[in-house]
Structure 1
Amino acid sequence: MGTYAAVVLAGGAARRMGGVDKPALPVGGRPMRDRVLAAVGDARPRVLVGPADAVPSGVRVTREDPPGGGPVAAAAAGLALLDADTAFVALLAADLPLLTRAAIGGLLTHLAPDDLPAATTSEQPPDGACFVDGDGRRQSLCGVWRVAALRAALDRLTVERGGSLSGAPVRALLAGLVVREVPWSGDGPPPWFDCDTDEDVRRAEEWAR
């Protein structure tokens, strides 16, 4: 797989954690958002959507409209900063401290598998690929997508919602897209593990040691 971009969503309210800046919380001595950005260190460009006091060099930073408008509004803001010729994008939550570059690489192979020429299969090519957890639930903000498909979905949803993406659920954005669901079968902790509570952060810290 060639060049891809990455959009990392860091604007959540973290209500279950008292409203802290969750992506800035350290796991293994590094803020979670920095760990996610490192996992996509080969992406061009890398975009962080949300508040950020300090980010690694070269990362583009923007905010969703309105601030706090949710992941779909944040995805739209992030995609607006991609280069015109970007074909693939990793769309990621910023609270995935166990994400690895190998996991992202594995997802990307599902968008253009080398061993499955289009002429030899009747299966519709996927618009994206994301991990599923052990119960089969999609981890939609731990996935990779065709930029054209996401932009078309954003345009459709904007019209359906009367011009505003604020508060739109991710499932509404992805409705109608062909999604390849990928179970994690590699070594180590699941890369889709997100930190929604203090206990999740403690568990991730143990895994990261």
Structure 2
Amino acid sequence: MGSYAAVVLAGGAARRMGGVDKPALPVGGRSMRDRVLAAVADAAPRVLVGPAEAVPPGVRITREDPPGGGPVAATAAGLALLDPDTTRVALLAADLPLLTRAAIGELLAHLDPDGRRAASEGAAEPGRGAGPAGPQRPFDGVCFVDADGRRQSLCGVWRVAALRAGLDRLTAERDGDLAGASVRALLGGLLVGEVPWGGAGPPPWFDCDTDEDVRRAEEWVR
């Protein structure tokens, strides 16, 4: 797969589940958080942003500022712990119990210019990363897209420089306050590759926002 890092966002409020520590909930006898970390076991470093009592050895832990400040603030905290020479990072929600290493490998392959399939930048024509007379530029990131065309932005792989540029832009626009900023705003202007899932099994981006979602995930992993 080549070298990459992983930032796992685990600081959500889980309001629809009564405010529980959602990533710590077990699916198939293992917490969702640990399942996501296992899917990126070959990433270096692995960074968990959010509360955690116990994580696998070598995982770096941090918190967003302020705690509960949302995914963009959490992304900024996670990127701050990456090694200086890191160029690619998997940015993942911690409630993706069906995520696999194969799915991460699929994303990494599509981030490569030679492996891209379709791209979109706002309302741009799919597959176009530059003008008709110029070469296509590499994707700034890729993420899975579901059957309805919705991007699963927190199940993607991104170029670190592009994310940092987006964070710098948002920080300036919001007078230094990233709390409550949307992922859509962070990724605005980036050239994003949209990857449909073609593998076997359930979609790797399936997230658990309700108790019913957790039950469905349990059925899938049996």
TM-score, normalization: structure 1?
Answer: 0.96
Which residue of 1 is the match for residue 127 of structure 2?
A: none
Query: How far apart are residue 122 of structure 1 and its match?
Result: 2.4
Corresponding residue SS for 2:168: helix
Corresponding residue SS for 1:110: helix
* The one of 167, 173, 180 aligned to 1:160: 173
Which residue of 1 is the match for residue 158 of structure 2?
A: 145
User: What does the per-residue CA deviation read over 1:65-111, in whole Å, with 9 as the maximum and x for residues that have no partner?
Assistant: 00000000000000000000001000000000000001001100111
For 2:154 and 2:112, how far apart are their aligned partners in 1?
20
Which residue of 2 is the match for residue 97 of structure 1?
A: 97
User: What does the per-residue CA deviation read over 1:133-157, in whole Å, with 9 as the maximum and x for residues that have no partner?
Assistant: 1111000000000000000110000
Identity %: 83
Query: How far apart are residue 125 of structure 1 and its match?
Result: 1.2
Query: How far apart are residue 2 of structure 1 and its match?
Result: 1.6
Structure 2 unmatched runs, 5+: 117-133
For 1:184 and 1:39, how far apart are their aligned partners in 2?
16
* The one of 188, 196, 201 aligned to 1:183: 196
Kindly provide the amino acid, as one letter, of the partner of residue 80 in structure 1. A
The alignment's C-alpha RMSD in Å is 1.1
Structure 1 unmatched runs, 5+: none
1:38-57 matched pairs, under 5 angstroms: 38-57=38-57
2:46–2:58 contact (8 Å) kept in structure 1: yes
User: What does the per-residue CA deviation read over 1:11-32, in whole Å, with 9 as the maximum and x for residues that have no partner?
Assistant: 0000000000000000010000
For 2:107 and 2:138, how far apart are their aligned partners in 1?
14
Kindly provide the amino acid, as one letter, of the partner of residue 69 in structure 1. G
Which residue of 2 is the match for residue 13 of structure 1?
A: 13
Kindly provide the amino acid, as one letter, of the partner of residue 179 in structure 2. S
User: What does the per-residue CA deviation read over 1:31-77, in whole Å, with 9 as the maximum and x for residues that have no partner?
Assistant: 00000000000000000000001111110000000000000000000
Number of paired residues? 205
Q: Which runs of 4+ in 1 moved over 4 A?
A: 113-116
2:143–2:157 contact (8 Å) kept in structure 1: yes
Query: How far apart are residue 115 of structure 1 and its match?
Result: 6.0
For 1:75 and 1:22, how far apart are their aligned partners in 2?
18
